[in-house]
Amino acid sequence: AQSVTQPDIHITVSEGASLELRCNYSYGATPYLFWYVQSPGQGLQLLLKYFSGDTLVQGIKGFEAEFKRSQSSFNLRKPSVHWSDAAEYFCAVGARWEGGSGGGADGLTFGKGTHLIIQP
Q: Can you give the binding site for another protein, defined by CB under 8 A? A: 31-32, 34, 36, 41-46, 49, 90, 93-97, 101-113
- Looking at the Cβ atoms of 66 and 88, the one nearer to another protein is 88
Q: Which is nearer to another protein, 3 or 12 (CB)?
A: 3
Cα 17 to Cα 39, 77, 118, distances in angstroms: 20, 11, 9
Q: Which is nearer to another protein, 15 or 104 (CB)?
A: 104
Minimum distance of another protein from residue 94's CB (angstroms): 2
β-pair type (114-119, 10-14) = parallel
Closest to 33 measured CA to CA, from 94, 120, 107, 106: 94
